[in-house]
Amino acid sequence: MAIKAGIIGGAGYTGGELIRLLLNHPSVETSFVHSRSNAGKAIHTIHQDLLGITDLSFTGTLSTDIDVLFLCLGHGESAKFLAENSFPDTFKVIDLANDFRLSSRSAIGNRQFVYGLPELQKEKIRSASNIANPGCFATAIQLGLLPLAQAGLLGDVYTTGITGSTGAGQSLSTTSHFSWRANNIQAYKTLTHQHLGEIGESVRTLQPNGHIDIHFVPWRGDFTRGIFISSTLQCDLSVEELYKLYETYYAGHPFTHISRDPIFLKQVVNTNNAVIQLERAGSKLVVHSAIDNLLKGASGQAIQNMNLLFGFDECAGLRLKAGYF
């Protein structure tokens, strides 16, 4: 069975990655890619690596002859877009922004959104109609913490994470410009990052009782893509007990892998994979996790969710090679 997909906001980083993945998906036809600012232009003039791969052009008009609609808009724009445009309830929506991730604002009109972290609630995603794709930092942090939450082991968690420049989007700002980013790092949004809300909701679904407080310091890094997280907390389990906990939790999840060797970004960049490693020092546990912010942290996870929604192989279109060298 083949389905038809439409993309709203196809000119940015996540939109470009989504186009690339859909063009290579065995069961999807890309019907249109919408962009107000680029309507009429060939897609390969914006995403230049697609020269010779697709003859599609950006469009400024919308079509309802689709099965799934991907929203690759800025935060706050998805709800506005759905409110201003009428679409049949028969097709599914996958939102890559943060508009519907929290339970307190997970609906608009007749559309109810399910939080789309497959490693947390795969069966709910399978039966859903609309998906709120998780944030990139949120994905990387949660994948490191979910097994501990299920075991009731979370308390105070001190998390640091570093992300590549693509996490800031394609529009230039002082801190995303090459001359600022090169040979430079900076902390930002210390303890106030917007992903903390969705992280808190997710871990509390697995550990509803007890104190959980995640203290997160994000960093801007001197590289283009990828996220590396280190979360530190008090834990009395042995390393072997912890690895068994993690390996059991992720046994049915094809994109999350547990390593007993030190992990690094090049293992995951250009893939939909997440890798996790555990370290102990005394009574302290450090959980390292790494993902590609544009794939498992955005467009790859959106395709993974689409596969689950339509009953495809969860890995369809996502068997990607890491950019290792």
- What is the Cα–Cα distance from 219 to 138, expressed in whole angstroms? 14
Q: Residue 1 pLDDT more than 80?
A: no
Q: How far is CA 124 from each of CA 76, 140, 261, rounded to the nearest angstrom?
A: 24, 20, 33
136 is known as an active-site residue: yes
* Residue for token pair 């399978």: 126
Strand order from edge to edge, sheet including 213-220: 186-187, 213-220, 156-163, 227-234, 284-291, 274-281, 256-259
- What is the Cα–Cα distance from 207 to 199, expressed in whole angstroms? 12
pLDDT digits (tens, 9 = 90+) for 147-178: 999 999 999 999 999 999 987 666 667 787 77
C-beta neighbour count of 33 within 10 angstroms: 28
Residues of 100-114 as b/e, b for ≥16 C-beta within 10 angstroms? bbeeeebebeebebb
Q: What is the CATH number of domain 136-293?
A: 3.30.360.10
The vertex-300 CA angle with 35 and 201, nearest 5°, equals 100
* Residue for token pair 């990828």: 226
pLDDT digits (tens, 9 = 90+) for 112-131: 999 999 999 999 999 999 99
Continuous H helices in the chain: 13-23, 43-46, 77-84, 118-126, 136-150, 178-181, 196-206, 239-249, 300-309
Closest CA to 216 of 297, 141, 291: 141
Strand order from edge to edge, sheet including 107-108: 58-59, 28-34, 3-8, 68-71, 92-95, 130-132, 111-115, 107-108
Q: pTM, whole model, 2 decimals?
A: 0.96
Q: Residue 323 pLDDT more than 90?
A: no
Across 263-283, average pLDDT: 97
Q: What is the 8-class DSSP label of residue 42?
A: B
Confidence at residue 174, expressed as pLDDT on a 0 to 100 scale = 76
Provide the token pair at 232: 């530190």
Confidence at residue 97, expressed as pLDDT on a 0 to 100 scale = 96
Confidence at residue 252, expressed as pLDDT on a 0 to 100 scale = 95
C-beta neighbour count of 186 within 10 angstroms: 12
Out of 2.30.40.10, 3.40.630.30, 3.40.50.720, 1.10.1040.10, the CATH code matching 3-133+296-309 is 3.40.50.720
Confidence at residue 325, expressed as pLDDT on a 0 to 100 scale = 84
Q: Tell which phi-psi region holds residue 26, choosing left (phi > 0), alpha (psi between -120 and 50) or beta.
A: alpha
- Residues of the chain above pLDDT 70, percent: 98
Closest CA to 158 of 190, 184, 202: 190
Confidence at residue 267, expressed as pLDDT on a 0 to 100 scale = 97
Residues of 282-313 as b/e, b for ≥16 C-beta within 10 angstroms? eeebbbbbbbbbbbbbbbbbbbbbbbbbbebe
Catalytic residue (one of 72, 136, 235, 315): 136
C-beta neighbour count of 277 within 10 angstroms: 21
Provide the token pair at 234: 């008090």
Q: Residue 89 pLDDT more than 80?
A: yes
Closest CA to 120 of 99, 153, 95, 144: 144
Domain ranges of the chain: 3-133+296-309, 136-293
Which residues partner with 317 through β-bridges?
A: none
Mean pLDDT estimate for the chain = 95
Confidence at residue 187, expressed as pLDDT on a 0 to 100 scale = 96
**Burial grade of 2 (CB within 10 A; 0-12, 13-18, 19 or more):** exposed
Closest CA to 96 of 253, 308, 293: 293
Across 132-137, average pLDDT: 97
Query: Is the CA virtual torsion 147, 150, 153, 158 positive or negative?
Result: positive
